[in-house]
Amino acid sequence: MLLSKLFFKLYALKSERMRKVILTLVSRFEGGQMHSETLRAIFSKYHNIEIGMYSYGGCFNLDHIRPFTKIGRYCSFAENVYVYNANHPFDRKSAHPFFYDPSLGYVGTEQILRRGIEIGNDVWVGQNVIILPSVTQIGDGAVIGAGTVVTKNVPDFAVVVGNPGRVIKYRFTEDTIQQLKQERWWDKDIDDLRENLDAFTHRYNVPFDNAKEPNTTGT
């Protein structure tokens, strides 16, 4: 505990080399990305990235995940996932970051709007997925296939593939989705779920092939 607090404070020194070492050590000492509370505290405090417990993988890549990103619990990220929160301003004389990014030393304040995105719980994001700034929400239980370019919000438990990404099916029936949303199993700690592992190790409820797709028209 004392060592974790020390690492958390040292991270404020803003040495890139030291920060990488600290992230590696914290993850190792606290049981890896899935379990480390200090790792999550560092991402929240210093990078404005919220990551729920037991989520792991590319969501901890600071080169690929932008600030104002909120990720739920039990999410699985491939390593090469990109989440963007802003576009270059193509309606101005120049789209170059010299003219909108204050960190480069030419403008005093941020000149573009950076949007936040909320990614739900138990979301699986495949290799080489790109999530564009037009996306503000990815629902609980969603699956984003490898190589997908996500351009709009994703419903709960939808399976999305392609460029641009499109919903090809849902993991469960509409009734089952509502049941899972009400149950909110992901709010429980993994030790509490040990008592009922059978629910997670077999096909759950009605197979999709025999199910009715949820209504996606909004009516």
Which tokens hold the place of 212?
């009715």
pLDDT of residue 31: 94
Instruction: Give the H/E segment covering residue 8.
Output: helix 2-10
pLDDT of residue 216: 40
Residues serving a catalytic function are 88
Look-up of token digits 């992230």: 23
Name the region of 131 (left: φ>0; alpha: ψ -120 to 50; beta: rest).
beta
pLDDT of residue 198: 87
User: Can you tell me the distance from the alpha carbon of 191 to that of 212, in angstroms, rounded to the nearest whole number?
Assistant: 34
The secondary structure of residue 109, as a DSSP letter, is S
Please give the model's pTM, rounded to 2 decimal places: 0.88
Burial class (CB in 10 A: 0-12, 13-18, 19+), 105: exposed
Which tokens hold the place of 151?
């351009």
Topology of the domain covering 49-210: UDP N-Acetylglucosamine Acyltransferase; domain 1 (2.160.10)
pLDDT of residue 212: 47
pLDDT of residue 203: 87
Give me the long-range contacts of 128-133 (CB less than 8 A, separation at least 24).
128/78, 128/80, 128/81, 129/78, 129/81, 129/82, 130/81, 130/82, 130/84, 131/81, 131/82, 131/83, 131/84, 132/84, 132/87, 133/84, 133/85, 133/86, 133/87
In three-state secondary structure terms, 14 is coil
pLDDT of residue 4: 87
> Which residues fall within 8 angstroms of residue 6, CB to CB, at 6 or more apart?
none
The domain ranges of the chain are 1-47, 49-210
pLDDT of residue 217: 35
In three-state secondary structure terms, 145 is coil
The residue ranges of the chain whose pLDDT is under 70 are: 206-219
pLDDT of residue 206: 55
pLDDT of residue 211: 44
Angle between the 2-10 and 16-29 helix axes, to the nearest 10 degrees? Answer: 160
